[in-house]
Amino acid sequence: MNTTNTFGDRVKELRKQKGMNQEKLAEVLFLESKSTISSYETNRRMPAADVLAGMAVALETTVDYLLNGEIEKNETINQALLILQQLSPELQKVALEQINILNRL
């Protein structure tokens, strides 16, 4: 995955890598039209936090990468972040508690 210059560039690149058109991504994110995705990809708008989180899951990346273009170098951390993003807030809390327990060992 190449680091690109803008949020919109990163969204477009990842969407294409997934073989999705704008309409399909809009559908996955429960947005009304592909024009919303177009406005994100051209940097005219930024998504709300809930849409951004869903976008990261749909594009199998992290919110940090979408916003900042930064890719965590540790693949284990990348995988853990992707899994955590897909959990409900309650399960995220449980998972973090378990990580803290492991960290104390």
State pLDDT tens for residues 11-20: 999 999 999 9
Q: Which helix (DSSP H) or strand (DSSP E) does residue 7 occupy?
A: helix 7-17
State pLDDT tens for residues 24-36: 999 999 999 999 9
Burial of residue 93 (number of CB atoms within 10 Å: 0-12, 13-18, 19+): exposed
Half-sphere exposure of 60 (CA within 13 A, CB side): 9
Alpha-carbon dihedral 88, 92, 93, 97, rounded to 10 degrees: 150
pLDDT of residue 58: 92
For the chain, give every domain's residue range.
1-71, 73-105
Residues 6 or more apart in contact with residue 58 via CB below 8 angstroms:
18, 20, 25, 28, 29
What fold is seen in the domain 1-71? 434 Repressor (Amino-terminal Domain) (1.10.260)
